[in-house]
């Protein structure tokens, strides 16, 4: 779903063991709030869309 390898350490590539799965939305919200990740991302910080049509026509 998220294209991440959960059974492989992202730092060393070694195997990891899953010791818990947190599924309770209230608990997840508390953890995210504690980590400072509970706020939605600000769409104003995004770059403007790129018009790929102009770039593609310049290639030919």
Render pLDDT for 28-41 as a digit per residue (tens, 0 to 9): 999 999 998 887 76
Question: What string of H, E and C letters represents the secondary structure of 4-60?
Answer: CCCCECCCCCCECCCCCCCCCHHHHHHHHHHHCCCCCCCHHHCCCCCCHHHHHHHHC
Mean pLDDT of the region 22-32: 93
Determine the Cα–Cα distance for residues 37 and 41; give it in Å rounded to an integer. Answer: 9
Quote the number of domains for the chain: 1
Domain that residue 5 falls in: 1-37
pTM over 0.85: no
In a domain, 48, yes or no: no
Mean pLDDT of the region 37-49: 72
In a domain, 44, yes or no: no
pLDDT in tens, 49-59: 777 666 655 55
């Amino acid at each position: 779903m998220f294209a991440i390898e959960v059974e492989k350490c992202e730092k060393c590539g070694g195997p990891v063991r899953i010791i818990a799965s947190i599924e309770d939305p209230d608990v997840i919200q508390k953890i995210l709030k504690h980590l400072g990740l509970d706020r939605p991302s600000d769409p104003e910080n995004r770059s403007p869309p790129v018009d790929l049509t102009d770039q593609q026509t310049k290639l030919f």
